[in-house]
Amino acid sequence: MKGKFLIFVILAPIICFGKEQKKNSPVFTTDWFSNNIEVWDTYKTEFDRKPNIRCLEIGSWEGRSSLYIARNYCNGPDSRLYCIDTWEGSKEHSDELRIGLYERFLGNTKDLRKKKRIVAHRGYSKEVLLELSAKINKGKGRKFNFIYIDGSHEAKDVLMDAVLAWELLEEGGILIFDDYGWCGDSHHCPKPAIDGFLACYKTMYEILLNGYQIHVRKVRSTPL
């Protein structure tokens, strides 16, 4: 009996720690991001531990990519990630995935939001981007070093996000488009919008990656 009691005393803290660790772990139902990490890691030296880095994410879903950005790009003093999403999902998402979506994001990002490393803006990207632009124009905010566009897949929405986000990106900053290789139908497809944007701004950026994602660096604010 004493032996069993001793084993329980030894194992109890380990069991409790495991339960606590599981309790505090992020909750994800999907993983559409991890395959990007190897390439994204190559940009870490530009942002890692540096002060006053500003990042913007359009489309945050459950917060998997948000956590990566906040931990690797916005981990210096007074650095911050702004997340924009309706957290309502889109037509390609099942009802099961949409249920509790916002709550999962809030739970997954709770600690970093408390530290002001992540700031959530719940709403339509067009409206929030215009609000951010107005603040920057009034001197109440700064342009962004990094912007990730992974919101609506409707071509017209992607183009709107790109045009508005470009004005918020500082020269030298990085802009990433997700899902260049994904297409639901002729309208529900980011590629035409991204191609149109790249054609219109072709002298103002350099291509860093051309694949399922498109990565560009803003080299100038006005065309040649």
For the stretch 142-168, pLDDT in tens is 999 999 999 999 999 999 999 999 999
Question: Exposed, middle or buried: residue 10 (CB in 10 Å: 0-12, 13-18, 19+)?
Answer: exposed
Residue 188: CA count within 13 A, CB half-sphere: 6
Average pLDDT value for residue range 159-178: 99
**Residue 90 domain-assigned (yes or no):** yes
Tell me the residue length of the chain.
Answer: 224
**Residue 172 domain-assigned (yes or no):** yes
pLDDT digit string (tens) for 28-50?
999 999 999 999 999 999 999 99
Cα angle: 94, vertex 58, 147; to 5 degrees = 145
**Residue 6 domain-assigned (yes or no):** no
Q: What is the CATH number of the domain that holds 133?
A: 3.40.50.150
pTM score: 0.87
pLDDT of residue 97: 73
pLDDT digit string (tens) for 58-77?
999 999 999 999 999 999 99
Question: Model confidence at 136, in pLDDT bands (50, 70, 90)?
Answer: very high
Question: What 8-state DSSP symbol labels residue 35?
Answer: G
Domain count of the fold of the chain: 1
**Minimal CA–CA distance to 172: which of 132, 129, 205?**
205
**Residue 152 domain-assigned (yes or no):** yes
**Minimal CA–CA distance to 62: which of 27, 94, 88, 36?**
27
Residue 189 is part of which domain span? 35-218
Q: In the beta sheet, which residues pair with residue 215? A: 176, 209
Centroid of chain to Cα 189? 19
- What are the φ and ψ backbone dihedral angles of 68, each rounded to 5 degrees? -60, -50
